[in-house]
């Protein structure tokens, strides 16, 4: 694995061909867990914080993404307050709101995903798979101030790292509690233009039940024009890097 830094000046529209050696398990940030799925979501979506996209140990460093800065915890390590960057929008032109980050984590509980990661958020103990999850007490969104505040029941030294995972990426606040199979609006330099998932048939092995996915992606880099690029399975990935705020 090799990571390359870029200023973004080299890419203004054009074509990007994405080739993968396995199918994504989901394009829903609340459920996606495979390396292929995360590779896609890290190109198309963003959270409040992110890991630097560089090789080596520096790649473990957290940096602000959709937030202005990394916050210092208060209240004995149980409260984190983020200020969002100005004029954030999704690929459909709609604004990114503080409550979108709350909705992202509520869906993790509603869909029964990796819930232990965020079990320390105030109110999370009352959330159940398949039922409406309300984290308004634990994730306080203030649209006027462009802030989102996380309140924990106990200190968690790894909490910022957990917010850098795709599970915590912003999703529109009206996103439902079922797995999405149509692409959600993106915040990154790429967006998924279309996505199809279907079951295989005719296999003699137990792998007959596994799902096969085919994707067509649209590339939008540094404000350039969007072009469609097709992904194919069983081939290596060739991915243009994103310019990160580092």
Give residue-wise pLDDT tens across range 144-186. Answer: 999 999 999 999 999 999 999 999 999 999 999 999 988 899 8
Instruction: Say what the pLDDT of residue 65 is.
Output: 97
pLDDT at 215 over 90: no
d(CA 18, CA 190): 11
β-bridge mates for residue 148, sequence order: 82, 141
Mean pLDDT of 82-93: 95
Backbone region of residue 131 per phi and psi (left: phi > 0; alpha: psi in -120 to 50; beta: other values): beta
Predicted TM-score (pTM) of the model is: 0.77
Are 191 and 218 within 8 A, CB to CB?
yes
Name the least confident of 43-47, 56-60, 81-85, 114-118.
Answer: 56-60
d(CA 82, CA 80): 7
Backbone region of residue 101 per phi and psi (left: phi > 0; alpha: psi in -120 to 50; beta: other values): alpha
Q: What's the pLDDT band for 20 if we cut at 50, 70, 90?
A: low
pLDDT at 225 over 60: no
- Maximum mean pLDDT: which of 15-24, 51-60, 77-86, 230-239: 77-86
As a whole number, the mean pLDDT across the chain is: 79
Residues in the chain: 246
């Amino acid at each position: 694995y090799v990571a390359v830094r870029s200023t973004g000046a080299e890419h203004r529209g054009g074509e990007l061909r994405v080739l993968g050696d396995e199918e994504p398990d989901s394009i829903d940030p609340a459920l996606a867990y495979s390396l292929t799925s995360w590779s896609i979501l890290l190109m198309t979506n963003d959270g409040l914080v992110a890991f630097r996209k560089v090789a080596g140990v520096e790649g473990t460093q957290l940096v602000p993404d959709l937030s202005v800065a990394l916050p210092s915890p208060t209240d004995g390590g149980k409260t984190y307050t983020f200020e969002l960057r100005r004029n954030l929008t999704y690929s459909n032109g709609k604004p990114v709101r503080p409550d979108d980050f709350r909705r992202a984590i509520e869906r993790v509980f509603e869909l029964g995903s990796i819930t232990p990661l965020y079990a320390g958020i105030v109110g999370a103990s009352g959330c159940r798979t398949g039922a409406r999850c309300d984290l308004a007490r634990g994730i306080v969104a203030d649209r006027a101030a462009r802030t989102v505040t996380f309140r924990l029941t106990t200190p968690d030294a790894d909490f910022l790292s957990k917010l850098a995972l795709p599970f915590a990426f912003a999703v529109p606040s009206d996103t439902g509690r079922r797995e999405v199979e149509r692409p959600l609006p993106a915040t990154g330099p790429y967006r998924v233009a279309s996505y199809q998932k279907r079951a295989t048939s005719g296999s003699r092995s137990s792998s007959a039940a596994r799902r096969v996915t085919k994707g067509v992606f649209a590339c939008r880099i540094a404000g350039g024009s969007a072009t469609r690029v097709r992904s194919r399975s069983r081939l290596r990935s060739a991915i243009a890097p994103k310019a990160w705020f580092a």
